Amino acid sequence: MDAQKLEAVAALVDEIDADGPPTPEQQEQQAAVDAAELQAREWGMVAFTIGGALAMLAPELRQVYTEEACNAWGCAVVPVAEKYGWSGPGNVPEIGLLLATAGLAVPSYIAISRRLAMLKEAQRKAEAAERARKAAQGAQDVDSRPVGGGVDDGSGS
């Protein structure tokens, strides 16, 4: 057979293969890619959730812990996780519990801390106002005492 005819047949086979259903090898390869992408998203969600909690303390971190950046981090974690045999975060429910707890605990801590600071500041101001009132009252009492007469200076005169 002529080499040109073989190339034409090969091109035709490639075209038919491209249009047809995926081969078992292609399906397996796509499943591996899908699994890696899913793992990357799961790991990225860990970073995204942590970033969300940290952003409650420092809002400027929202610019750092973007979904895109966290997904990129997740993609970098997958090969390391595979190397060391770490199961994905979806396989460790404790991670989900920890992150969900942090999502509740951090804002609660911040709100309570702010409220306590406000109460402490209000108490400090009230005490300062009371001291100022007493000082003003004491100065008024000194000013209202008679000068000279009526005060026993102990001289007997």
SS3 for 85-153, per residue?
CCCCHHHCHHHHHHHHHHHHHHHHHHHHHHHHHHHHHHHHHHHHHHHHHHHHHHHHHHHHCCCCCCCCC
pLDDT at 145 (0 to 100): 63
The answer to whether the predicted template modeling score (pTM) of the entire model surpasses 0.85 is: no
Q: Which residues of the chain have pLDDT under 70?
A: 1, 17-20, 90-91, 141-157
Q: What does each C-alpha distance from 7 to 3, 10, 19 come to in angstroms?
A: 6, 5, 18
Looking up tokens 């106002």 gives: 129
Distance CA(108)–CA(11), nearest Å, equals 65
pLDDT at 17 (0 to 100): 67
Looking up tokens 């040109």 gives: 4
